[in-house]
Amino acid sequence: MSTAYLNGEYLPLSEARVSPLDRGFLFGDGIYEVIPSYNGRMVGFTPHIERMQRGLATVGINLDWSVEQWRELCTSLMKMNDMGNLGLYLHVTRGQDTTRFHAYPEGVSPTVFAFVIDIPPEQTVDRNLVKTLKVSSARDQRWQHCDIKSTALLGNVMHFQQGYAAGNNETILYNERDELTEGSACNVYVIKDGVVNTPPLDHQILPGITRLILLDILRKDGSIPVQERVIPMSEVLAADEIWLTSSSKEIAPVIMIDGKPVGSGEPGPVWEAAQKLYSANKFNY
Ligand code: PMP
């Protein structure tokens, strides 16, 4: 049984309890993070915590934890849960109210919950060994604040299920102008003629930390050009390679979209080069 953290206490996950009057339960009124760690080494700890602190400030949840307090919590959870490949799941809600009323309550302390989830081992850098993914595509029907890592994920869950029900691993989404946004739980990249293209940061996508790290590594290395720009779905369907990134996936090659092969239908050379660079540099973040 894994060890979790709830409001100041470490306890077995099976014993963790929150009230049904918690606004996280009633309204999905909370912010979360998942930080990947491999044998006690985290990837992107500081940018993950900064994103969470930005999200909390944006939705007016007042929690005055320092970055060091979060680091202590993450370190303790890794130690108590035998290291390995762990996603450190951090979850802060507006807290437990005394009734169900939409307005932000006064004098309520946020609920802080954390536990660990198993994530896959570190990604291979060999295109003959990598697990390939298949995706569906669908019109993005989520809300207008996809840049906030809200615990209210019903829109994402419904989109993920669309792809899953069709026998695919993910669903990639496009807006009403047929422009790529992101996946239901990942960022998306379209590779054409050796250039890595990905949608720019705005309200339509989550500013992924894997995206942040990958783009920084690629730009510092300089051998693979990167463009953040609006991408019509016609370009997605004509891509040489498509990748997905997230904290648990690292960089994952997509070989099929809506039943049609992407490029050659196999993981490509740009993927292999990019994943090599990512694997070599990710622990610097
Ligand atoms: N977009 C969405 C909608 C996500 O849920 C996630 C995380 N699973 C990402 C992008 C990728 O973010 P990160 O690289 O920080 O895990």
Q: What CATH number has the domain bearing residue 149?
A: 3.20.10.10
Quote the Cα angle for 27-32-38, to 5°.
150
Helix axes 209-221, 45-58, angle to 10 degrees: 130
Whether 126 maps to a domain, the answer reads no
Verify that 147 and 85 share a domain, yes or no: no
Whether 123 maps to a domain, the answer reads no
Verify that 8 and 58 share a domain, yes or no: yes
Active-site residue identified among 134, 149, 249, 282: 149
Query: Which residues approach ligand 1 with their CB closer than 6 A?
Result: 156, 182, 185-187, 206, 208-211, 245-247
Indicate the top mutation candidate among 206, 216, 247 to test ligand 1's pocket, ranked by most ligand atoms within 8 A of CB: 206
Pick the atom of ligand 1 nearest to 34's CA: 16
Domain limits at 201? Answer: 133-284
Verify that 183 and 253 share a domain, yes or no: yes
Q: Which of 118, 150, 173 is the last residue of a domain?
A: 118
Pick the atom of ligand 1 nearest to 209's CA: 15
Verify that 86 and 167 share a domain, yes or no: no
Segment 40-53, tens digit of pLDDT: 999 999 999 999 99
- Nearest by Cα to 186 from 253, 141, 123, 240: 253
pTM exceeding the 0.85 threshold for the entire prediction: yes
pLDDT of residue 83: 80
Segment 56-84, tens digit of pLDDT: 999 999 999 999 999 999 999 999 998 89
pLDDT of residue 82: 86
What mean pLDDT do residues 186-207 have?
98
Pick the atom of ligand 1 nearest to 149's CA: 5
Whether 179 maps to a domain, the answer reads yes
pLDDT of residue 104: 98
Verify that 114 and 199 share a domain, yes or no: no
**At a CB cut-off of 8 Å and minimum separation 6, what does 168 contact?**
133, 134, 135, 136, 256
Whether 124 maps to a domain, the answer reads no
Verify that 102 and 148 share a domain, yes or no: no
Give the type of residue at 198.
T
Indicate the top mutation candidate among 158, 172, 187 to test ligand 1's pocket, ranked by most ligand atoms within 8 A of CB: 187
Percent of the chain with pLDDT over 90: 99
Verify that 23 and 99 share a domain, yes or no: yes
Residues 173, 183 contacting (CB under 8 angstroms): yes
Verify that 271 and 137 share a domain, yes or no: yes
Segment 11-26, tens digit of pLDDT: 999 999 999 999 999 9
Tell me the backbone φ, ψ of residue 10, rounded to 5 degrees: -90, 135
Q: Which of 69, 94, 118 is the last residue of a domain?
A: 118
Verify that 168 and 218 share a domain, yes or no: yes
Cα(199)–Cα(100) distance, integer angstroms: 38
**From the CA of 11, how far away is ligand 1's center (Å)?**
28
Catalytic residue list contains 149 = yes
Verify that 91 and 151 share a domain, yes or no: no
CB burial of 16-48 (b: ≥16 within 10 Å; e: otherwise) equals: bebeeebbbbbeebbbbbbbbbbeeebbbbebb
Verify that 188 and 105 share a domain, yes or no: no
Residues 151, 169 contacting (CB under 8 angstroms): no
Segment 85-128, tens digit of pLDDT: 999 999 999 999 999 999 999 999 999 999 999 999 999 999 99
For strands 85-93 and 30-38, give the pairing.
antiparallel
Whether 49 maps to a domain, the answer reads yes
Whether 50 maps to a domain, the answer reads yes
Q: What CATH number has the domain bearing residue 15?
A: 3.30.470.10
For the chain, give the secondary structure using H, E and C: CCEEEECCEEEEHHHCCCCCCEHHHHHCCEEEEEEEEECCEECCHHHHHHHHHHHHHHCCCCCCCCHHHHHHHHHHHHHHCCCCEEEEEEEEECCECCCCCCCCCCCCCCEEEEEEEECCCCCCCCCCCCCCEEEEEEECCCCCCCCCCECCCHHHHHHHHHHHHCCCCEEEEECCCCEEEEECCCEEEEEECCEEEECCCCCCCCCCHHHHHHHHHHHHHCCCCEEECCCEHHHHHCCCEEEEEECCCEEEEEEEECCEECCCCCCCHHHHHHHHHHHHHHHHC
User: How many domains does the chain fold into?
Assistant: 2
Verify that 137 and 261 share a domain, yes or no: yes
Pick the atom of ligand 1 nearest to 211's CA: 14
Indicate the top mutation candidate among 186, 203, 251 to test ligand 1's pocket, ranked by most ligand atoms within 8 A of CB: 186
